[in-house]
Amino acid sequence: MIPLSVLDLSVVTTGTRPAAALRNSIDLARHVDALGYVRYWLAEHHNLASVASPAPDLMIGQIAAVTKNIRVGSGGVMLPNHAPLVVAERFKMLEALFPGRIDLGLGRAPGTDGATAHALRSRLDRREGDDFLERLQELILWETRGFPAGHPYNNVVAMPDDVPLPPIWLLGSSDYSSELAAQVGMGFAFAHHFASYDAVAAMTNYHAHFKSEGGWIAKPHGILAIAAVAAETDAEAEKLASSMDLNRLRRDRGQFLPLPSVEEALAYPYTDSERASIMRNRSRLFVGSPATIQSKLQPMLDAAKPDELMIITAVYDHDARKKSYSLLADAFGVGKKVAA
C-alpha cells in the first residue's frame, strides 16, 4: 500500500483563531504519528486570514519535539523570501536536534501577494525576475562548500557544521520543478490540490528523467499532494466539504477569509454559475467515504504512480479533520502496517 503523509496549513476558521489553529496542528501531528503516517509538512503562507503559520521552520521544531516517528518538514519554504544561508542554518539546527526526521521542501512562489512579498524581501539582495534557481544553487553550495576559490563565502560556515542539510524536496504545480528535481536528483512533490497542470504528466516526467548520478538521493521519490475529505458516509463528507467549497469560491474572487462553518456554507445562496464553479473546483478535491475516495483516486494513482500520497484536509471541525485522517489510514492499510 502507498505510504500516507500530511500537508498542514494550520487552517484558521471563523470559530478557531490563529493561535488555536497552531495548537491544532500540534495535536493533529501527534494523532497521525500514532496512526503511522510517514511525513508531516507545514506550508509557508503570508498575509492570509485562513492560514496561521508563516514560519514552517518554527512549527517543525515544535511538532518534531512532541512526535516520535514521523518525519517533519516544510511544504515548503518559499526560497525567494529567504537568504539561502538562513535556510541552511535553520534546517541544519533542526537536523541536529531531530536527526533523520527533518525534510527541507522548497518552493519558488512567494506564498503571498505582491505587497507582502516586497515587505518580506525589501532588505534582501533581490534579483529581477525569477531567481529561484540561483538561490537553490547557493543553498547547495553552503552544504557542499563548493564556492569558487577566492569567493568571500568561503570564509562563512553554516552552523552547526557537523550535521548535513536534511533531504531537499522541490515542490511544484507545473512541469518546471519536476524537470529540475529530476535533473539534480532530488525528491519531488506535486501540488495537485491547486495545480492546473496534469499530475500524471508531472509525476511521469519526474520518474522518467531522474538522474541518480551526482544526485541527492539514490532513486526518485515522487509525492502526490491531494486535498481530501473523508467521513463515515458520502453525505457526511459532502457536508464537511461544503466549507472548502465556499472558501474556494471566495478565494477565486480575491476574498481570503477564514474557513466558514458548515452551517454558513450550506445556508449560502449559491447562483447557478457559482455552483458550476464549485463543480469545476471539485476536480481537485476528493470527497466521500474512504471507499468512495479510493475509487475516485485510484485511476490517478495507477497512472501517475507516485511513491507517496500526501493529504491536506482543511475542514471546519478539528475532530472531523482527525477522523478523516483516521479513516484514510485504515482504508489504505496504514494502521495494519503499523500493527504488523
Domain spanning 4-229+306-332, CATH class: alpha beta
Q: Are 41 and 76 spatial neighbours (Cβ–Cβ below 8 Å)?
A: yes
- pLDDT of 202-212, one tens digit each? 999 999 999 98
Residue 111 has pLDDT above 80, yes or no: no
pLDDT digits (tens, 9 = 90+) for 254-303: 888 999 999 999 999 999 999 999 999 998 999 999 999 999 999 999 99
* The predicted structure's pLDDT at residue 52: 95
Average of per-residue pLDDT across 328-333: 97
How far from 30 is each of 20, 193, 312, CA to CA, in Å?
16, 24, 16
| pLDDT for 149 beyond 80 | yes
Residue type, 333: G
pLDDT at 78 over 80: yes
Mean pLDDT check: name the lowest of 120-129, 187-196, 240-249: 120-129
Considering only CA atoms, give the Rg of the chain: 20
> Across the chain, what does the average pLDDT equal?
93
- CB of 53 within 8 A of CB of 83? no
> pTM of the entire structure?
0.93
